[in-house]
Amino acid sequence: MLSPMRTGAGVIPLALTTGRVLLGERASPCSDPDTWAGFGGSPEPADATLVDTALRELFEETGYAGPIRLVDRATVVQGGTRAHVFVGLVPEEFEPELNWEHHTALWLDPMTLNPAALHWTVRGFRALTAPRWGRRRRGA
C-alpha cells in the first residue's frame, strides 16, 4: 500500500519596490539544512485553506503581518511531499524576525540565485515561474 502524500504550503515574499525575494537559510534541526528556502510548512487544524497555511507559516517564521498578495502558486512534488508555493507580493522589503527554522535570511535577486544552494521547493518553483519574477517590480 502506498503512503499518503504529505502536503505543505509556503510563501516566497517578493518586494515590489526592488523585485527581490526573501529566502531563509534553513537551520540544522530542519530537513534540508543549509539550503535557501521560502517560508512554509504543514497545514494545522485551524487552517481552512492552503492560503491560510502559507500565511500562517510566513508569520510564524518571519514575524511578517503586513500587506501581502499571493500570486503564482505552483505545486512542486518531491518524494512523498507535495508543496504548494506562492509568491507573496509585499510593498517593500522588511526585516524578518526569524524563528528557529532559519538561521539567516536575505533579500536576493531571483534571477541570479544558484540552484545548487536552493531548497527543492524553491528550485522547482523557480523552474515553473522564474521568467515572470523579474517583471513584478512596481511600474514594470
pLDDT at 129: 65
pLDDT at 112: 82
Q: Would you say residue 67 lies in a domain?
A: yes
Domain that holds residue 24: 6-131
Q: Which of 19-33, 60-74, 78-92 has the lowest mean pLDDT?
A: 19-33
What is the tens place of the pLDDT at every residue in 122-140? 888 777 665 655 544 444 4
What is the tens place of the pLDDT at every residue in 93-114? 999 999 998 999 999 987 788 8
Q: What is the pTM of this model?
A: 0.87
pLDDT above 90: percentage of residues in the chain: 56
Q: Average of pLDDT values for 10-19?
A: 94
Q: Would you say residue 41 lies in a domain?
A: yes
Q: Would you say residue 44 lies in a domain?
A: yes
Q: Average of pLDDT values for 90-95?
A: 98
Q: Would you say residue 93 lies in a domain?
A: yes
Count of the separate structural domains present in the chain: 1
Mean pLDDT rounded to a whole number for the chain: 87
Query: Across the chain, where does the E strand assignment appear?
Result: 6-15, 21-26, 36-37, 39-41, 69-78, 81-90, 102-108
pLDDT at 114: 83
Domain of residue 55, CATH code: 3.90.79.10
Higher-pLDDT residue of 140, 36: 36
The helix (H) or strand (E) run that includes residue 81 is strand 81-90
DSSP state of 119: -
Q: Would you say residue 89 lies in a domain?
A: yes
Q: Would you say residue 77 lies in a domain?
A: yes
Q: Would you say residue 87 lies in a domain?
A: yes
pLDDT at 2: 59
Q: Would you say residue 102 lies in a domain?
A: yes
Instruction: Give bridge partners of residue 70 from the DSSP assignment.
Output: 88
